[in-house]
Amino acid sequence: MTSCVALLIAAPASRQGKTTLTAGLARLHARAGRRVQVFKCGPDFLDPYWHELASGRPVYQLDLWINGEQDIRERLHRAAQESDLILIEGVMGLHDGKPSAADIARLLGIPVLCILSAAAMADTFGAVAYGLRHYPHPSGQPLPWAGVLANHVGSERHAGMLRESVVEDHFWGHLPRDAGFSLPERHLGLVVAQEVEDATARLDAVADALAKTALGALPWEPGCGASASASASASAAAAETGNERQASSWQDWRIAFPAPPKQALPQLLRDRTIAVARDAALCFIYAANLEALHGMGAEVVFFSPLANEALPPCDAVWLPGGYPELHAEALGRATTSRDSVAAHVAAGKPVWAECGGMMLLFERLTQKDGSTQALWGLLPGEVTMQPRLAALGSQQLDWGIGTLRGHTFHHSRCTTPLEPIAHTQRPSTGENVDALYRHGSIMASYFHAWFASNPAVTAALFGASRAP
């Protein structure tokens, strides 16, 4: 039986510090020479950049609806074989969504470590912690629990009040209010880690702060490689924090991950080369989607529109999402990239343009300040940035040959004379959401697809099987 130490990092809501804690723990253990594999619950392109920087490994999504249970079990089993520690960052609040992060924890028996922002809070901290742990589930199954850690703590006195409010022995310490290790944000979420000059220093600062908590000082393997100094520091930390849990080591959270039946993807893209745009402007790429393309037999090559690189020889193109609005001027000048993609389209070869990739193909972009920028003009119409989110949530594309799952997340709207050939739907209501456009050999939508959810539809997007 394959097993590995594993924790699911959750919170009562967004903006509590889940990403900070997850990335900080990954950095702390990676610095100690441990192999850390991080996962992210739900669809998210931005947090994984920080986790990848912290752990040194690609990050994968876990979502019971998008991935499915089979895929999740396969990924965790493989990770357990190759890792010392598995960290899973939750999505939104612990019990939010159907299915939720709590559902994943219950299904797989992974203990939950909750981080709670304690700003403007004292004894209510303990009430929230208790409620998160004991919130009832229709199955009656208790939630695997590792404990709580406080964030945004103002002083040691404040930390003491929080500690005393926790009625069960699962308080693991606190992180202070400190801009030195906060992770910068912008529209859509966190700034991509590679764009932050001091990103590694911020992660090190979080790791250093965590090392001072009882959680960070907990020995890795007491009596089996843990140093005497580590054990002593853990004991000292526990003594200072009163009712913090007296766990023996991180090995208390070792979980079995049995091997599920493996399911191979059909070779629908065999002998086809797919060129993928990848740079700071078009960076919303799931590692699992690249794996799916490889698993379906494709060769994947990359090019950078932002660097004005010509399209490499290929059978199909994927223009993923990202931040074209932040790089609109440079993209508008990328005539070599534009002309090579235009020649590809003129030859009747397929292009799948997704969200930001679709935005790039329109004639112009209007920013929130009213300024405009000419773009590539391969799709008729324009795109306009919005002051608020224009769409958010899980979606599916029912498209004649099957259903492709995914999601949407964008701050713009497009205006085009093109008539949609289909729409994505909300899985809960069947309501139409985002349009799917076809213009020559271009297929385009705001929809971010999860390729492995339907290989036949994915192959059709890349021209390797018959589209409806």
Cα separation, 114 vs 88, whole angstroms: 12
Q: Does residue 150 contact residue 122 with C-beta atoms inside 8 Å?
A: no
Q: How far is CA 81 from the centre of its chain?
A: 22
Q: Does residue 13 contact residue 93 with C-beta atoms inside 8 Å?
A: yes
Which residue has better confidence, 140 or 364? 364
Residue 17: CB partners within 8 Å, gap ≥ 6? 11, 115, 117, 151, 152, 175
Question: What residues are annotated to the active site?
Answer: 355
Cα separation, 120 vs 12, whole angstroms: 15
pLDDT at 206: 92
* Structure token pair of residue 141: 């199954």
* Structure token pair of residue 276: 């993928």
Cα separation, 166 vs 127, whole angstroms: 8
Residue 239: CB partners within 8 Å, gap ≥ 6? none
* Structure token pair of residue 300: 């994947």
Domains and CATH numbers, the chain: 3-256 (3.40.50.300), 273-461 (3.40.50.880)
Q: Is residue 194 scored above 90 in pLDDT?
A: no
Q: Does residue 348 contact residue 332 with C-beta atoms inside 8 Å?
A: no
Cα separation, 303 vs 279, whole angstroms: 8
Helix (H) / strand (E) element for 349: namely none
Q: Does residue 95 contact residue 135 with C-beta atoms inside 8 Å?
A: yes
155 by Cβ neighbours in 10 Å (0-12 / 13-18 / 19+) ranks as exposed
Tell me the pLDDT tens digit for each residue of 71-96. 999 999 999 999 999 999 998 899 99
pLDDT at 293: 97
pLDDT at 262: 81
End-to-end alpha carbon distance in the chain: 45
pLDDT at 169: 64
Dihedrals φ, ψ of 281, to 5°? -85, -35
For residues 161, 163, 168, 173, the Cα torsion angle rounded to the nearest 10 degrees is: 160
Q: What percent of the chain has pLDDT over 90?
A: 72
Work out whether strand 185-186 and strand 189-190 pair parallel, antiparallel, or are unpaired. antiparallel
Helices 199-211 and 18-31, packing angle to 10 deg: 80
Tell me the pLDDT tens digit for each residue of 55-72. 999 999 999 999 999 999
pLDDT at 247: 60
Which of 193-197, 298-302, 325-329, 382-386 is predicted with the least confidence, judged by mean pLDDT? Answer: 193-197
Cα angle 468, 459, 378 (rounded to 5 degrees) comes to 75
Residue 395's alpha-carbon distances to 403, 426, 450, 458, in angstroms, are 10, 5, 10, 15
pLDDT confidence bin for 163, thresholds 50/70/90 = very high
pLDDT confidence bin for 235, thresholds 50/70/90 = very low
* Structure token pair of residue 406: 């995914």
Q: What percent of the chain has pLDDT over 70?
A: 90
Q: Does residue 371 contact residue 344 with C-beta atoms inside 8 Å?
A: no
* Structure token pair of residue 251: 């090995």
Cα separation, 124 vs 35, whole angstroms: 37
Q: Is residue 423 scored above 60 in pLDDT?
A: yes
The average pLDDT across 262-270 equals 91
Residue 417's alpha-carbon distances to 72, 266, 420, 425, in angstroms, are 41, 37, 9, 22
pLDDT at 231: 34
Cα angle 185, 190, 191 (rounded to 5 degrees) comes to 80
Instruction: Quote the DSSP letter at residue 243.
Output: S
The average pLDDT across 263-287 equals 94
Cα separation, 325 vs 306, whole angstroms: 12
11: left (phi over 0), alpha (psi -120 to 50) or beta: beta
Instruction: Quote the DSSP letter at residue 141.
Output: P
pLDDT at 329: 95
Which residue has better confidence, 393 or 163? 163
Helix (H) / strand (E) element for 336: namely helix 335-346
pLDDT at 239: 32
Residue 361's alpha-carbon distances to 85, 246, 274, 439, 444, in angstroms, are 42, 58, 18, 11, 9
171 by Cβ neighbours in 10 Å (0-12 / 13-18 / 19+) ranks as buried
In 163-244 the beta strands, taken as DSSP E runs, fall at 171-176, 185-186, 189-190
Q: Is residue 286 scored above 60 in pLDDT?
A: yes
Q: H helices of 32-117, where?
A: 47-55, 69-82, 101-108
The segment with the largest mean pLDDT, out of 104-118, 175-189, 219-233, 383-397, is 104-118
In this structure, which amino acid lies at residue 345? V
Helix (H) / strand (E) element for 39: namely strand 36-41
In three-state secondary structure terms, 10 is strand
pLDDT at 180: 64
Tell me the pLDDT tens digit for each residue of 9-37. 999 998 888 999 999 999 999 999 999 99
pLDDT at 197: 76
